[in-house]
Structure 1
Amino acid sequence: MPKRSERVIDYSVYLNAVDYLGTATATLPEITYLVDTIKGGGIAGEMAAPSPGHTGAMSLALKWRTIEKAAASLLAPKIHTLDLRASIQTFDTATSEYREVPFKVTVRARPLGLTLGNLETAAVMDTTNNFSVNYLKVTLDGVQVLEIDKYNYIHKVYDVDYLAATKENLSL
């Protein structure tokens, strides 16, 4: 493949897809499957067996340089829909040209807390919002690569829903 991803050029945070909040540094959700240790007859020892489509708790952290009105408003105890939009720099080794591709992460998340940060002369405060994520959608270069919706039994990776059979079996 001649195209190589290099870096995030810039990024922004939006509320409800339209309200610009700023450029908080985001720690994006980690996706881990729920696992159980399987052992017994026919298995030489133990192995971790993931449950397809069932994930552990996902979280999001937004770190602001200073206290922002947006940080305070995101503490409201309700579900917030946030878009994190970025432009990723790639380099095409065949043509020796740079290209930018869009990257977008959409979450529906509930606030877990707000750390006001530090007060220090001539320094950033590092005010941080922490969220529990129940919905996640990732789009890269116009292609939806991931969608997880815990309440609606959706776990799509490149448009394959790994919870479709579960939903059908449960008549959901």
Structure 2
Amino acid sequence: MPIKSERVIDYSVYLEGDTYLGTAKATLPEISYLADTIKGGGIAGEINAPSMGHTGAMTLTLNWRTVEPQAVQLLAPKIHQIDLRAAIQAFDPATGEYLDRALRITVRARPVSLSLGNLEPAAAMDSNNTFSVSYIKIVKDNDLEPLLEIDKYNYVHKVNGVDHLAHVRNTLGIK
């Protein structure tokens, strides 16, 4: 039987690979393809046709309990590399044992906003940073090949090791 992933044990947020940013809840990007409705002769109705390798805007949000110096640092108007490193709890039904598996999500993102949150006695401030993501890579168990890698500026769209924009890059003369 295959190993079953169950939950996130814990995770950490790092800047530029090695600077620990603190405790933040992360809302990860949604990946959706740009699409257009196709209709006409030879099609019985309409089809929502995604554009190969082209995705909509991706957003990352980091939610903080209070206003953190790191949250203010991330407002600097430049590209930030943010790494989210998680330990995932898994269960092996064949052996009856729990496992922990590594999951690493790396994004290159620029700041869009910093919400300072609320001031209320005995409550979290709920401040947050929002970022526009131009690059995302997801690696599981320190595999050499990422599960997913999208690099909008370099025309890369890899899913399970297959770059679905390689032929397009070649056609366009992009090296």
Q: TM-score, normalised by structure 1?
A: 0.98
The equivalent of 1:160 in structure 2 is: 162
Instruction: Measure the CA separation in 2 of the matches of 1:149 and 1:3.
Output: 30
Query: Identity across aligned pairs (percent)?
Result: 65
How does 1:48-59 map onto structure 2 within 5 Å?
Answer: 48-59=48-59
Distance 2:96 2:126 in 1: 38
Give 1:28 deviation, angstroms.
0.3
Separation in 2, partners of 1:153, 1:98: 39
2:119 maps to what in 1? 119
**What residue identity is the alignment partner of 1:72?**
V
Instruction: Name 1:130's counterpart in structure 2.
Output: 130
Residues 125-163 of structure 1 show CA distances to partners (whole Å, capped at 9, x for unaligned) of 111000000000001122310000000000001110000
Map 1:7-46; keep pairs closer than 5 Å. 7-46=7-46
SS in structure 2 of the partner of residue 165 of structure 1: helix
Unaligned runs of 5+ in 1: none
Indicate the residue corresponding to 1:91 in structure 2: 91
Cα offset for 1:45? 0.5
- CA deviation map 1:17-51 (0-9, x unaligned): 01010121000000000001011111001000001
The letter for the 1-side match of 2:40 is: G
Distance 1:42 1:149 in 2: 35
Name the aligned partner's letter for residue 156 of structure 1. K
- The residue type paired with residue 139 of structure 1 is V
Deviation >2 Å, runs of 4+: none
Deviations 1:86-132 (A, max 9, x none): 00000111111000000110000000000001111111111100000
Query: Over aligned residues, Cα RMSD in angstroms?
Result: 0.8
Gaps of 5+ in 2: none
- Mapped partners of 1:119, 1:156: distance in 2: 43
Question: What is the aligned counterpart of 1:146 among 140, 145, 148?
Answer: 148
| Structure-2 separation of matches of 1:165 and 1:78 | 31
Amino acid at match of 2:62: L
Structure 1 counterpart SS, 2:147: strand
Aligned mate of 1:171, from 158, 170, 173: 173
The residue type paired with residue 165 of structure 2 is L
